[in-house]
Chains A and B, each alone.
Chain A
Amino acid sequence: MRALNSLQTIQIKRVSRASLLAGALTLAFIGGVRAEHRIELSGGVQAKISYCTDCHGPAAQGYRGYFPIPRLAGQQPEYLENQLRAFIEHRRTNNIMFNVAHSLSSGMLSALAGHFAALNPPPIGGAPRQLVGTGRKIFEDGMPDINIAACAACHGPNATGSGQIPRLAGQLYPYMIKTLSNWDKERGRNPTVPDTSAIMSPVAHSLNKSQIEAVAAFVSTLR
């Protein structure tokens, strides 16, 4: 190959630089368009709902995976929003739900909470039937001997909750057991941000294993 004179060298360098720039711009444009599409996809409420229901069930009725995934259908929207914020603020510890929630905007949180609050599928059931009677007694009358108020007093006679107090009706049996048994391990975990979960702490402590199972069985049958 013959040697290039200096002018040809400069011209080659100019062309190379120009095509490099063109190539880079093209890639950036394509990448930018793709990124924009993805933001639209992941930002859309419908896409997010599909993401939630992949685990929580098509009608958000909950699902017994390896871990019990709770029912969201008919849940009090204020409670749902509070829990999503609790995951983000590490007041409630759950690695999976932190990942899910931490990139959600405020608008998205209320949109999701509103959507799930309006759903009403039947409960998935499956709890041992022989526990339901005992569970109803605890739920409706409490256990005055050990200073436990009736659950109905706060959660409502039909366990539908109100405001920040969650609906329990139709909640999964294994999820209720896990939640009541592990209350302090999972809730109210950020000492710099105390929250309303403290209210349940003495109740959760006072209930023994069979009482927890009974209450869980009872509420899991409620519509």
Chain B
Amino acid sequence: MKDKGLHLAIFIALCCAFFATAGRAENLAIRNCTWCHGGAARGYTPAPQLAGQRPQYLEKQLADFHARTRDNPFARQYMWGAARNLDAQSVRNLAIYFASLPPRAANDGVPNLVALGRTIYQEGMPDSNIVACVVCHGPNAEGVREIPRLGGLDYSYLKRRLEQWTEGYHAAAGPPMISIASKLSDDQIEALASYLSFVK
């Protein structure tokens, strides 16, 4: 009986020590990021879902917030401060941590726009010179490498980001998105944002 109690106490102490060190990125995130991005990093308007986002994309965004190259209004207002004291290793740890969390679709788009959004995403609109997003962002809008997951992000965030490509802000991404987004009409942007908000 005494031995069992001692063994149990040692076991619990070891577990605490393990989780204390392994969970350092988790603690940092809980303290600083979930305040806006939600406890499970699933987003809380206007902060987008980070759970299940591509780690390379997250890393690049954090680095760009730190360097102040990405300058859309909410980046300027919130993320520049949030990323100010992050070093490269913390950026990497946070990116890996959030990427590992399970995403959940926001499901808050406009339902009767989903069909048009799906068509634009999967097939493009050749007569309007609009490319099919699927080629870069993937069949389930999950992204790859530095190309972000779009699937499951909330409607208002997707709509705002699509609009911002042509509003003159500097983004982390390269040339194509400005050119692509400049060909989208307001209706098409709303359709895409709606479709994507439902994609798991």
Contact = CB atoms under 8 A, between A and B. Distances in A.
Interface of A: 38, 41-42, 47-48, 50-51, 53-55, 57-58, 63-67, 69, 95-96, 99-100, 102-103
Interface centre among A57, A65, A95, A103 (most CB of B within 10 A): A65
Interface residues of B, number: 24
Given A65-B136, A66-B136, A99-B123, A47 B129 contact: yes
Contact of B129 (A41, A63, A102): A41
The main secondary structure of chain B at its interface with chain A is mixed
A100 to B, nearest CB: 5
Given A55-B176, A96-B124, A100-B124, A67 B131 contact: no
The main secondary structure of chain A at its interface with chain B is helix
A63 B135 CA distance: 10
A66 B134 contact: yes
Interface stretch (B62-70, B87-95, B140-148): B140-148
Contacts of B123: 95-96, 99
A50 B132 CA distance: 14
Nearest to A51: B129
A42 B137 contact: no
Interface string B170-187: 000001100110010000
B149 to A, nearest CB: 11
Contacts of A63: 136, 176
24 contacts: A38-B128, A41-B128, A42-B129, A47-B129, A48-B129, A51-B126, A53-B179, A54-B179, A55-B131, A55-B135, A55-B136, A65-B135, A65-B137, A65-B144, A66-B147, A67-B135, A67-B136, A96-B124, A96-B134, A99-B123, A99-B126, A99-B132, A100-B124, A103-B127
B176 A54 contact: yes
B127 A54 contact: no
Nearest to B127: A42
A64 B132 CA distance: 15
Contact of B138 (A55, A66, A95, A100): A66
What 7 A-B pairs are tightest by C-beta distance, nearest first?
A: A65-B136, A51-B129, A66-B138, A54-B131, A66-B144, A58-B175, A54-B180
B41 to A, nearest CB: 23
